Structure 1
């Protein structure tokens, strides 16, 4: 799905598809963290079951107002204990499927909010 955000001075998710996103037009095929203050780095996890508390503790260090967790092609919630570092930092957390997380990130970033999207892009396996 191609997304057409208003013109912003922040990085935006410009398109999404199964197992990939495009950030400012650049295709990304692995899980990624993207933020409205130019945060962008690989998030080393290629499936929901491989997530650990360390993945969410890393997000708390960014001190964002809101973290949007894109849980893949369907919505799945992380264990509440994993969110403790974010809650302790006063960071809001929202969970949604990755496509919805991309749209929500674009809106909040466009409003000038300090928002971070942690986008789980699950490895696609070939059907035999």
Structure 2
């Protein structure tokens, strides 16, 4: 059996996560972030699930992913669909998971070269 290290080719990978931070590539982030499959990780001005607005999902839309993995914090919580209507209308899929599951799922999809974006809520 041959083992081969599977590394993203120019893409982002989440190497560590806990309730207070995520490490994307070599950078640690202690606040909410948007992690696209390629390109720069962006700050996501969100500290509490209850503060989600349509504008948060509009920021995601501007990055043009095919699929969004929403990490809703330490536990799974579903946003009101009216908040992400812009994604639905643009035919962009969205899945909601807790932070740990979102990080794992993002890494799998990114390794398959999918145009995925992780929207990760890190609560203060």
TM-score greater than 0.5 by the shorter chain: yes
The separation in 2 between residues aligned to 1:26 and 1:63, in whole angstroms, is 23
Q: Count matched residues.
A: 119
Q: Quote how far apart the aligned CAs of 1:39 are.
A: 3.8
| Deviation string, structure 1 residues 72-114 (Cα, Å, up to 9, x no partner) | 0000001110111001111000000011111100000100000
| Runs of 4+ in structure 1 over 4 Å off | none
1:17 shift after superposition: 0.9
* 3-state SS, counterpart of residue 68 of structure 2: strand
- 1:15, 1:25 within 8 Å by CA — same for their partners in 2? no
Partner Cα distance (2:84, 2:27) in 1: 30
Give the Cα separation in 1 of the matches to 2:16 and 2:73: 15
Q: Given that residues 73 and 122 in structure 2 are in contact (C-alpha distance below 8 angstroms), is that contact kept between their aligned partners in structure 1?
A: yes
**RMSD between aligned alpha carbons?**
1.2
Task: For residue 48 of structure 1, report the CA deviation from its aligned partner.
Answer: 0.5
Deviation at 1:6, TM superposition (A): 3.1
TM-score, normalising length from structure 2?
0.91
